[in-house]
Amino acid sequence: MPKINELPENKLMTLTKTQLIKGFMAYKRAVNVEIKNLKSELAQSKAQIEAERISSKLLIEEMLVAKRPSSSMSCSTIENPELKSLVAATSYISDDEMEDEQDDDEDDDNEASKSDSQLEKSSDVSNSSVNKSSNKVNEKSRENK
């Protein structure tokens, strides 16, 4: 059957109502197929953009973690002048003061281990949420393919 726009005008007038309806329905099906294809392409593009966004977010987080100073600094790397002067002022310590400082050091160690534990927990939580987001994006992209 020739397409409607290819027919001469006088031929259009001789088409029956049924022929016009069939032509219109075929055109409508073709348009619906094209719409489905466009929707599929859009969903794939959205999934790809989301995956790239998450990937760049992970990259930024990795860069920030890499730039963070390490938590275990030696005395030679202390930059604070007040701490340097305190270290210099305590070059001589009596035995009694040494025992007190050992007790203080133990307390500080306990507090530091609690702080490290809390930091590890928060890091685990953020890592698991990033992994969940990444898995969701991967699942969406697999579904769309």
Rounded to whole angstroms, the Cα distance separating 90 from 101 reads 11
Average pLDDT over residues 29-55: 94
Q: How is the chain split among helix, strand and coil, in percent rounded to 5? A: 85, 0, 15
For 74-90, the pLDDT digits (tens) are 545 555 666 666 666 55
Instruction: State which amino acid sits at residue 114.
Output: K
> Which tokens belong to 62?
């990795």
Our count of domains for the chain comes to 1
CB 130 within 8 A of CB 58: yes
**Per the domain annotation, does 62 fall within a domain?**
yes
* Average pLDDT over the chain, rounded to an integer: 74
For 116-132, the pLDDT digits (tens) are 677 666 666 666 667 77
Output Rg (C-alpha) for the chain, integer angstroms: 36
Q: Is 71 helix (H, G, I), strand (E, B) or coil?
A: coil
Confidence check: pLDDT of 10 > 60: no
**Per the domain annotation, does 22 fall within a domain?**
no
Domain of residue 62: give its range.
32-68
Average pLDDT over residues 47-65: 89
Rounded to whole angstroms, the Cα distance separating 12 from 8 reads 7
